[in-house]
Structure formats: C-alpha cells, structure tokens
Amino acid sequence: MSALRIKSWWKTAVIYQIYPASFCDSNGDGIGDLAGIVSKLDYIRALGADVVWLSPMYDSPQVDMGYDIADYEAVYAPYGTLADMDTLIREAHARGMRVLLDLVINHTSDQHAWFKESRSSKESVKRDWYIWRPATYDAVTGARRPPNNWRSFFGKDSAWTWDETTQEYYLHLFAAEQPDFNWENDTARRALYETSMTFWLKRGVDGFRVDVVNTYSKPAGLPDAPVTDPGAATQPCAMLVCNGPRMHEFLREIRRDILAPYNAITVGELGMTPDPDAVRQYVSAASQELDMVFQFDVVMVGHSLFGNLAASNASGEGKSEADPTHHFALPTFKAAVGATQTLIAGNDAWTTVFLENHDQARSVSRFANDSPRHRVASARLLALLQACLSGTQYIYQGQEIGLVNAPADAYPVDNYLDLVSQRVMQGVAAAHADSTPEVRAQAMARAFAALQYAARDHSRIPIPWNGAAKYGGFSEAAGQLAKEPWMKPHPLAGEINVAAQLDDPDSALAFWRKMVALRRAHPDLLVYSDYRALREADEDLMVFVKNAVEGDDHGKVLVVLNFSTDEVAFQVPDAEELGFADKTASVTFASLASTHKADAPVGDVLAPLEGRAYIVKA
C-alpha cells in the first residue's frame, strides 16, 4: 500500500444515512423517532453498514426539517429524549456500529436563545454572535435597502432580513429563520464548539457530517456579488461566501482542539468548490482538517439548483435542466464520476461514494430507469457501480430497496412539503400572476414536472417497511391505531418495501447486501484502488478499470455497466487498453460480480441495465 494511501477503518466503512422523521415511527404519531431507529439497527447491520449517520434530531422549529437548530443539547420532542439518544448510541456500539450526527454550525434557528438575545438590543453581549449590518439607502428615492446584493440560497430573496427592534439587518444565507453565526467572534465560536460538538462527543458520538462546511468565513467587508442575473435586485453570492479567508484555520482549530482527543471523524458538505486542488486542501491527510467531503459533481448531473428552477420554468421557453424529459448524455455522468474518483490519485486525500441523500431525488429515477419493468435492474446496476468506486461508501435510507420518485399521477403537488419545493411553486405562480389562465396552468405544470424529477421531497417520503401494513408499515408497531404519516406514504409502497425483499434473492436489497460484502472482501481492488475511465464517449456503456495501488501484480478490476434499456455488445479490451505494462500480454478475466447472471463471460451481449465486474490479470 502506498504511503499516501493510508488505511483507516472509516475508509472501508459503509455509512447508512437516516432521516429521522421518515425512517420508522415506533409510537404511531406519524413521525419517525429514535426508538424506531433503535428497532431497525439489526436490519441496518444485516445490510453490512458500519456506521449510522442521523440527519438533525435536535430541538428545532422545523422550518427546514431540523437544519434550524434551537438547542444543540436537546432532542426534538417528537423524536424522543436525550435518554433515547443515549440508548441509540449504546445499542449501535453494542452491534459494533458507530454513530455520526449532523453538525449544523453555519447558522442556528432564530429561536435559539443566543439569537433571541442578540436581536434584543444593539448593546446585547451576544449582539456580535451573529452578523448584523445597518441599512443602505437608495441615492435617488431614499428607499431602505439591504447591506449588499447577496441572494439567499433558497430562492431569489435577499440574504438579509430587517429587524424592527434594533433597526438593522441580519444575514441568513438560507431561510430568514436561519441567521448566520459570526465565526469571527472567538468567544462565540468556542461556545458553539462546546454545545454542538463536545457535548455529544462526551455522550459517545463518533463523528459528524458537517453541514455547508465551507461557508463559515465570510469575505472581509461583505462586498456585493458580481451581477450575473441582470435586472434582479439580488445576485448569487456562493462564489463569494464559500471557501472564505479563514475556513482552513477554523477547520484545523476544530480538528486539533475538539475532535482529535476523541478520534472523531468528519465528512463535510462541500458545495461550490469546482477546483479539485481546492477540494484537496480540505481532505489532504496532511492538512488535518476534514477526513472526507461530499462533492456534488455526480448528484448535480442533469439537475438545476432550485434557485434557478423557478425562473427557467416561469419563462415558458425551452426546458429546465431539471425537467423530467431532460436526458443528460451518459458521458456527462461518467465525467462527473471521474472527477470525484481521480481526486485521490497520487496524493493523500480521500473521497466519498454516494448517489443519494436527504437533499436529492431518488437515484434510480435520476440516473437509470424507474419504470416497473426496469427499476429493480436499475437499482442493482447502481449498487454495483457504487461498490466498485473508491472512497467511503454512503447509502441513504430506502436506496437499498430501490425506492424511486413518487409518480406524478399518484402524488400531487400538495403532498410536497419541502420549503424549497413550495417556494418554487410560489415563485412560478407569482411570475404568472398576470398571465392568462392557460399560460399560468402550463407554467405550473412545468414547475411540478421539474419537482417530480428533482425535488428533495422524494427522499423524505416515509420508508415503506411492509407493503401489506397500514401506511406501508411506517408505523407498524402501532398497528391500526397509527396516525397518518407527516408526509403522505409512497404510492408504490405495496410494490417496493422492505418486507417483500428480505427473503427475495433477486431483490435490490439482496443485491445491495452482496455488494457491501463484495466491497469488504476486496478493499485493495475496490476501496483503495485508482480509477481509470475507458471509452468515455460511449453513450450506452460505462467502462472503467480499478488498479490496485501496489501495481499490476495484484490485478485489476474491469467494470462494465450498460445504462441503456437495449442489449449492447461489448468489445473485450486488450492488455494495452487495460493499462498493463506489457501491452501484448494475454489477459484473463474472472467474474467478480454481475447484476444479471453469475460468471457472465466477458465478451457477450449485456442485457438492458446489466452491470458486470471482472478481476483481470495478464
């Protein structure tokens, strides 16, 4: 093993993400809870997962589903209590599993005691714990304006909100109810570390997924963003507020002073950082900042940010990138995968492997084919892809059973509860307030079609545990007394559910279990190896080679994935294309895994949505 490619338990780990409200309801109130998670730990362990990552379970007004935290040291009451969290941590550890929490520290809720005190008076001792600025005024009209032109990440509104009590604006990169914390204040920063991290590390938590990890350090002077949306009052500011001047200092401080004494691990949510060298600054082992990050190259393929979605649909001209009729070319997807995989080539950085999370629609619907005929094959294909990519593996709840987006005809727009989805629809409606009823209806239909393709709601629909039970078995423990779930159940719960797949050897769940085991059996060839794409222009097949870093003597893995719904012939690569030093050597192929049939020969036709992996030696 190369000195640069250091082996660690968390690199070969499989991390299973749980969205508490939608995972399992133990008491029948229609909301998932901590006791429900505990009841499914054996299921998660049987999948092969080593770690559970919980999306925010803290006390919160739930404006943004818990990403607006009112008290870091308390649990949202419908989820349970601190004692329930202690039980979950203890029971996970008893099964040899670790626990990660979501660390949301760019902002708090406006209901947090600190912000309430901060906004109470300009003389408050906590006034400088958040980012306050006086108004500016129009030189002609004298109208009050925000301090700069920054746009919220949630829509086209200003990132500043006026506070009547103290007659100043406060900054919020996200919703107005999520005021940004002032990381420049040393006292405030240390208090934040204590309540959000140390408190939980002392209770046995093993690490954190760090929310929007590159936004804490704002640029000096808070300058206007460049005008990229002419005529609009606000402008996108991500390239200004991401990767600010003190970001690396802050993260090294957290690692050194807070995390290292507990050997806690971190994975950062690193958006708006397209330069791989900039990414490597965060995840280089030598930098001592983050263990790994989520890059969004792959999950953003064919998906426009919601801030632009309403505008593109409101125009009525052309297609939104997130329109369900939009089909990105496979080479675009392959290039995105390659960008995240080659990040670690020849250096001491590390990467992650994921196709779903709480902010993304379902991968089968996004990247493969979710029709009844093809959805199981699609789920198996994507499972094989993930298993063969380098980096720490992440599985999002329901991904392992091949859940798909809710069909449009069975899940109307009123079922979409995410604040971003609602703002998209509200924005389109407002833009067409003066349009004819026909034009307005067409615009709303386009916007809904885009949501059906890309909305975050799809990943938040309650998990169907038993298709024969009430509400898909989400509250099965409560039986017929269970209340309707907080989100409408999945319309396909009778067809796609855990119970139906547990004993089905051909199910998506069974195949995911095989892929997790396969990955664990071949870490040097699958987890730690180097990625090299072949035939990048091919519109139907994704072909790549994984090279063990020790060299050819340890073999290679050839992966061939048919993303089309047609049969496709595959031409066998020779030693030169596979990258062997002896370009004329005779090559042998031994089947490692297949989504369709065991020991599939390397040179025949691939079935629709079939994937294969072979160990290759020369």
Q: Which residues are catalytic, by number?
A: 211, 269
* Phi, psi (degrees; rounded to nearest 5) at 366: -80, -45
Q: Is 80 left (phi over 0), alpha (psi -120 to 50) or beta?
A: left
To which H or E segment does residue 101 belong? strand 98-103
Strand partners, 52: 16, 99
Q: In angstroms, rounded to a whole number, what is the distance separating the alpha carbons of residues 363 and 355?
A: 6
One-letter amino acid at 385 equals L
The side-by-side arrangement of strands in the sheet containing 588-594 is 530-534, 541-547, 556-562, 611-617, 588-594
Query: H/E/C letters for each residue in 347-387?
Result: CCCCCEECCCCCCCCCHHHHHCCCCCCCHHHHHHHHHHHHH
| Cβ atoms < 10 Å from Cβ of 92 | 22
Q: In angstroms, rounded to a whole number, what is the distance separating the alpha carbons of residues 418 and 188?
A: 31
To which H or E segment does residue 191 belong? helix 186-193
Q: In angstroms, rounded to a whole number, what is the distance separating the alpha carbons of residues 303 and 323?
A: 8
The DSSP letter of residue 487 is: S
One-letter amino acid at 317 equals E
Does residue 97 contact residue 50 with C-beta atoms inside 8 Å?
yes
| Number of alpha carbons in the 13 Å side-chain half-sphere of residue 573 | 23
Q: In angstroms, rounded to a whole number, what is the distance separating the alpha carbons of residues 204 and 262?
A: 9
Q: What is the Cα 135 distance to its own chain's centre?
A: 36
Q: In angstroms, rounded to a whole number, what is the distance separating the alpha carbons of residues 166 and 371?
A: 55
* Phi, psi (degrees; rounded to nearest 5) at 428: -65, -40
Q: In angstroms, rounded to a whole number, what is the distance separating the alpha carbons of residues 169 and 159?
A: 10
One-letter amino acid at 131 equals I
One-letter amino acid at 114 equals W
For tokens 């024969």, the residue is: 468
Question: What are the start-end ranges of the H helices in 230-355?
Answer: 238-241, 247-254, 276-283, 306-314, 330-341
| Cβ atoms < 10 Å from Cβ of 456 | 20
To which H or E segment does residue 500 belong? helix 498-501
